Amino acid sequence: MKPSPLSSFARLATLTPHTGFAPAGLNLKSTAALAEEDAFTLDGLFLERERRTPEAVAYSQFDPDAGQWRDYSWAETAREAARWHAALADLGLARGERVAIMLGNCREWVHFDLAALNLGLVTVPIFVNDRPDNVAWILAHAGCRALLIGGPGQWSALTTIRPEIERLDALISLAPLPDGPDNLRLADVWLPVTAAPLPSPRSRPDDLATLVYTSGTTGRPKGVMLSHRNILSNVWAGLAAVPVTGTDRMLSFLPLSHMLERSVGYYLAMAAGCRVAYARSIPQLAEDMVATRPTILIAVPRIFERVRERILDALACAPPMQQRLFQRAVDLGWRRFLHRQGREHWSPGLMLEPALDHLVGARVRARLGGQLRLAICGGAPLAPEVARFFLALGVNVLQGYGLTEASPVIAVNRLEDNEPDSVGQALPGIRVRIGADHELLTHSASVMLGFWRDDAATRRIVDADGWLHTGDQAVIGPRGHITLTGRIKDILVLSTGEKVSPVDLEQALAASPLLDQVMVLGDGRPYLAALAVPRADALAAAPAEPRAREDWLLERLRPLMHDFPGYARLARVAINDETWTVENGLLTPTLKLKRRAVLERYRAEIEALYAGH
């Protein structure tokens, strides 16, 4: 007999009762958080944190040799950053020169970043699995003088751009490299055993701190110039919107090369004084959640979608009674959420909710470590049904929104005012308005300095009055909640003149248990079609003949499109067996679809969808 999905949840962690917005013992009035007047530069933020709470735990990281997690204090972090500072200083780089970081999330990422910032250098993060040709382009475009990598795994990919690497002053590696270049510096040897403490900040708030190359869904990435003031203003605004304290624990797994994780999971965590644990890998994420018991997560929608899919897959194998119990718990949990938000009156049926929550919701939360207080979701739209699913099960998912060009957070829902169909209200001090073509515009101290070596592109996105044009269409509700309605450049215009937002239809289709990924097509075409990547074994019952197989899938997708007008429904679908990933260049590092790359890769298949029309 197959195990109950509910009992399998229970085995993952000790259950803790759901107590609202904060786990037992959490002190929301902790005085560990720094204030805006405490730091004006990012390295100054760290120095003040280390001065204020030197022995508090700053970071946790798994030690594979010892087979256990180890904690590191702010004082230990300061000593390590000082070693990197001394070594980087010996390279003789001038203030304002650029150095690149191409590491997975780890303490060394922080040490290098802090040391470079304190020297007045500009850090250039690069996604750890980026394509070598893209890495070469970023290094050249930014004029980087040094590059930090993890070890042989990365070097084996980068050997294809060896001439570009050898032109750097230094390639720094955390582990020995086979056949390394002459400019290789092995960290264990290169770093001094001890070093003088980091000096007081010499940078000014408006100095350039980092160049962040946007992953971009089309064309070459642009280097977003962010100052110390840009990032810190976003940190202070974020802390004012969502409470984070020194008693919180974060699990960091989104890449630090992306500004959402860097601003919130690194600098904001530092300002709040909370500890950060670095996940080992995405495949080990479930184990790491249970081991580190985070109170805060920063995630993208795909993480929540996959957890929900696995729960529902397990539930499908459970007896009908358990399925009904689960659905009843979700229904009552959603009503409980609405009641706590002040949007629904209390009713007698809610008296059953605590018992059902103990049987269902608490066990789901145990899969997330059992202590999760809130989860901030950004990077892409979160489907409303996914948000409601987790909110009903007591997981406080706060959808937010931002752009790298805004350092990055523009808006986020609040714990006490959470409208999951929206991306929340603008952060304090951030102005938003709707411009031409329903475009969302924003104005704040967080808006970038501009694009590196591209004044024309800067002028196209930041107008003369300093308003950043996001490219996203939106409406702003009466209480300030922002709801995204589309993407200006992503609108498909059919040959009939009808306009369709592919994102809306893709979100609806993503609810199908048959699909893993989908992209809607139709620009300049007579009808909509789609490329679909099915889930493993999802089409086992489908006909073998390709066209019949596609028709079979389309028929099962039709109910998901019933709310769309006739012209906005699929007429054809092509099945694709290749999963779209970051590694094959079809997803950005934040898991957004690279539409132009997909169109190019599957040009023949797309033409076949429209053959004869």
- Bond preceding residue 546 cis, omega within 30 of 0: no
Q: Reduce the secondary structure of 70-128 to three states and give it as a string.
A: EEEEHHHHHHHHHHHHHHHHCCCCCCCCEEEEECCCCHHHHHHHHHHHHCCCEEEECCC
423: burial class by Cβ within 10 Å (0-12, 13-18, 19+)? Answer: buried
Q: What is the pLDDT of residue 16?
A: 32
Q: The domain 491-609 is classified under which CATH number: 3.40.605.10, 2.60.40.10, 3.40.1160.10, 3.30.300.30?
A: 3.30.300.30
Under the banding of pLDDT at 50, 70 and 90, the label for residue 497 is low
pLDDT attached to residue 531: 94
Radius of gyration of the chain (CA): 25
**Can you tell me whether residue 69 is helix, strand or coil?**
strand
Exposure on the CB side of residue 254, measured as CA atoms within 13 A: 26
Cβ proximity of 448 and 224 under 8 Å: yes
| Residue ranges covered by each domain of the chain | 42-278, 491-609
Distance, in Å, from the CA atom of 186 to the CA atom of 260, rounded to the nearest integer, reads 30
pLDDT band, residue 219 (cuts 50/70/90): low
Q: Is the pLDDT of residue 425 over 50?
A: yes
In degrees, to the nearest 5, what angle opens at C-alpha 591 toward C-alphas 590 and 597?
Answer: 115
CA 136/CA 528 separation, integer angstroms: 38
pLDDT at 4: 36
Task: Report whether 532 contacts 520 (CB < 8 A).
Answer: no
In this predicted structure, the answer to whether residue 256 has a pLDDT above a threshold of 80 is yes
Q: Out of 267-276, 539-548, 557-566, pick the least confident.
A: 557-566
pLDDT interval class at 1 (50, 70, 90): very low
Percent of the chain with pLDDT over 90: 74
CA distances from 232 to 30, 165, 213 (A): 20, 32, 19
Q: CA-CA distance, 258 to 127, in Å (whole number)? A: 8
Residue 381 confidence class, pLDDT cut points 50, 70, 90? confident
pLDDT attached to residue 346: 93
Q: Is residue 14 within 8 Å of residue 34, measured between CB atoms?
A: no
Q: Using 50, 70 and 90 to split pLDDT, how confident is the model at 442?
A: very high
Average pLDDT over residues 145-171: 96
DSSP 8-state symbol, 14? -
The mean pLDDT value for 437-441 works out to: 95
Select, from the ranges 5-14, 42-51, 571-580, the one with the highest average predicted confidence (pLDDT).
42-51
Task: Assess whether the region 42-278 and the region 491-609 belong to the same CATH fold.
Answer: no
In the predicted model, is pLDDT for residue 327 greater than 90? Answer: yes
| Tokens found for residue 603 | 């040009």
DSSP state, residue 521: E
Query: What would the pLDDT profile of 5-34 be if each residue is shown by its tens digit?
Result: 333 323 322 223 333 333 333 333 334 789
Closest CA to 519 of 443, 595, 579: 595
Give the angle subtended at the CA of 405 by the CAs of 404 and 407, to the nearest 5°: 65
pLDDT confidence of residue 45: 98
Rounded to whole angstroms, the Cα distance separating 351 from 392 reads 15
| Mean pLDDT taken over the chain | 90
Listed ranges 17-21, 128-132, 382-386, 391-395; the one with the highest mean pLDDT: 391-395
pTM beyond 0.75, yes or no: yes
CATH number of the 42-278 domain: 3.40.50.980
pLDDT by residue (tens digit) across 584-601?
888 887 778 888 889 899
pLDDT per residue over 267-299, tens digit each? 999 999 999 999 999 899 999 999 999 999 999
